[in-house]
């Protein structure tokens, strides 16, 4: 198995639990678009819990870009939980 260098993009997967409110998905995807990043895959599903939605997305990013995205995801008050590749963070 080949080791990735720091200068190579790799897949970063995120599962978000967000407030089910108009404009939330647009805010997240708009930030990604503004930075020139592309979403490889995305799934959006309402949760049984009233007022919450799960967003799963996968992006091809450099590690520094992933850190920037993760910081922004944690800063937004409409995101309740961020789970990155099995690592749960709040």
In a domain, 48, yes or no: yes
Q: Whole-prediction pTM value?
A: 0.84
Residue 4 is assigned to a structural domain of this protein: no
Q: Is the pLDDT of residue 4 over 70?
A: no
Convert the pLDDT of each residue in 21-46 to its tens digit: 999 999 999 999 999 999 999 999 99
- Give residue 2's pLDDT: 58
Please give the residue range of the domain that contains residue 61: 10-75
Contact 42, 89 (CB under 8 A): no
DSSP 46-84: E-SSTTEEEEEEEEEE-HHHHHHHHHHHHH-TTEEEEEE
Within-domain flag for 88: no
For position 67, which CATH number holds?
Answer: 3.30.70.260
Q: Is residue 64 part of a domain?
A: yes
- Kindly state whether residue 90 falls inside one of the protein's structural domains: no
Asked if residue 24 belongs to a domain, the reply is yes
């Amino acid at each position: 198995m080949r080791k990735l260098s720091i200068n190579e993009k790799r897949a970063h997967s995120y599962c978000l639990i967000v407030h089910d409110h108009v404009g939330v998905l647009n805010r997240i995807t708009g930030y990604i678009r503004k930075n020139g990043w592309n979403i490889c895959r995305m799934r959006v599903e309402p949760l049984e819990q009233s007022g919450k939605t799960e967003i799963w997305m996968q992006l091809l990013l450099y590690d520094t870009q992933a850190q920037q995205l993760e910081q922004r995801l944690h800063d937004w008050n409409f995101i309740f939980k961020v789970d990155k590749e099995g690592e749960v963070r709040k």
